[in-house]
Amino acid sequence: MSQQKFPSLFVSHGSPMLAVDAVQPAHGFLRNLGATLPRPEAILVISAHWETAAPRVTGAMHLDTIHDFYGFPASLYELRYPAPGKHDLAKEVTHLLGPAAGVDLVRGLDHGAWVPLLLMYPQHDIPVLQLSLQTSLGPAHHLKIGDALNPLREQGVLIIGSGGATHNLREYFHPAGDQQPYEDFAAWLHEVLTRRDRDALLDYRRRAPQAARNHPTEEHFLPLFVALGAGGVQAKRLHHSFDRTLCMDAYIFDD
């Protein structure tokens, strides 16, 4: 068992094409990110693409790769990330989260999980678990989820929230020609994270510039709150770039 207390991460996974599009700055960033961190004993990913009424964590020992997207090049559907699971850790996660949490013995990894992991840890030899969101319960619920998961960091578990710093797909495919609202939101996010203002983040729908435009729905922003709760008080932006309207920022939270 590792004695290293791990940070937590928030990464923006963008389009599934991030897995193969080497031109994107975020692709290169994620390819190098794993090497900058100590090797974890296991990885727990909270992805925007798994939503359930109550918390569920994967408990399968062999995780399928879920291609939960349509209309992309055939080569993308050939990619696999056959990471092992870790059932005993899944049970510990449910213990930390309380009696409402459960283990899903069938679920694999969706692209919000396997795309960044494919770039960060291409050898797929580290056990992986994925944890679901409860989108209707909002930011405060997910911050508490992160707080509950904090002890895992002392067991060498790398906790990754995978979503998007901004996520307006309609304007991604039909640009309005105005990038400034997305730049403004990303700048606001950086500022409040740097000053450790949890209250402002929890109230982002009112306080952030054009929050509803940047996040018409919340599922891509909520993994940030899990990572924030699980991590230490220090927040540092590791990466800043854009793929059209998708801000691809990444943050590390450490003590």
162 contacts 223 by C-beta, under 8 angstroms: yes
Q: What are the residues facing 235 on neighbouring strands? A: 253
Q: What are the residues facing 159 on neighbouring strands? A: 8, 44
Q: What are the residues facing 160 on neighbouring strands? A: 9, 45
Inform me whether the pLDDT recorded for 1 exceeds 50: no
229 contacts 7 by C-beta, under 8 angstroms: no
Distances (CA, A) of 103 to 52, 61, 95, 132, 228: 12, 12, 11, 10, 23
Q: Which residue has the tokens 């309380």?
A: 98
Type of residue at 88: D
Inform me whether the pLDDT recorded for 178 exceeds 80: no
Question: Can you tell me the mean pLDDT for 112-128?
Answer: 98
Q: How confident is the model at residue 155 (pLDDT cuts 50, 70, 90)?
A: very high
Closest residue by Cα to residue 55 from 155, 165, 144? 144
Q: How many alpha carbons lie under 13 Å from residue 159 in its C-beta half-sphere?
A: 31
Domains and CATH numbers, the chain: 8-254 (3.40.830.10)
* Residue of higher predicted confidence among 171 and 153: 153
Over the chain, what is the mean pLDDT? 95
Type of residue at 149: L
163: enclosing H helix or E strand: strand 157-163
130 contacts 50 by C-beta, under 8 angstroms: yes
